[in-house]
Amino acid sequence: MHSVALAVAAIMLSLGQWNDTKDAVEMIYESIITNWTNEIEYEQLSKIKIGQTQDYIDDLMGVAQASKSSKLDNGVVFYYYGEDKYLLTIAIKSERVAGYSITALKNDFTINIPYTDTVLLDMPLSAQKTELENYYTDNGNLDYYAQSYSLGRNAMFYNLVIGAVDYGLVSTDSLQNIQAINHKLNTGDDLDFSELQTMRTAVPNLYAISELPSDVMVEAMLTRFEFNAFFN
């Protein structure tokens, strides 16, 4: 009986140690993968879909670090999840996901843009072949240039916004073009569409997918002050 008891105790102890070892190995493996690749982040973000519940997003991404209400749609609240590699914004309306955006914060965060053949930080704005519907730009509280498109019936007529927003990755040439466009707009001069072609060569670091109007998702961008206050 004594020998059997010792044997059972030894087996139980070894199983407990194995579970601890297994958990430690998994944590180390995920840490290595996260440091050297973006696969874990890509997989996690790919699970976000329009129509999911707010509870699902909380379980998937954790608690948001910041939030603010939309001024264009009183029913929408934006929630912000800041990571070293990206900024995720979730637009919640009636306790469900009505839109989301991802902004790359590292040069190698080349995530695929859903429903398109375009890759963030890897292809210029001109790579998006859908007909351009509108553009948005500013160089006051934040320097950015973005374009909006309708994704059509195959993507539930969701709206797509892609653009270059200056949280640190926008090139000097693109920043100068953004400033020149806004200067002309602010002085009341007519802006010919051909003048926007210079921005078509810019490489986007932000995309947004939503069932909301595109201007609402553009409104969701944090100002430079807000971004630094929340995440730097």
Instruction: Report the chain's mean pLDDT, rounded to a whole number.
Output: 89
What per-residue confidence (pLDDT) applies to 61? 97
CB 31, CB 40: distance < 8 Å: no
pLDDT per residue as tens digits for the range 95-145: 999 999 999 999 999 999 999 999 999 999 999 988 899 999 999 899 999
Using the predicted structure, report yes or no on whether residue 12 has a pLDDT greater than 90: no
The mean pLDDT value for 160-171 works out to: 94
228 vs 169, 171, 175, 215, CA distance in Å?
Answer: 15, 19, 19, 23
Using the predicted structure, report yes or no on whether residue 40 has a pLDDT greater than 80: yes
pLDDT per residue as tens digits for the range 14-30: 666 656 555 555 555 55
pTM of the predicted structure, to 2 decimals: 0.84
205 vs 66, 71, 83, 103, CA distance in Å?
Answer: 21, 24, 15, 6
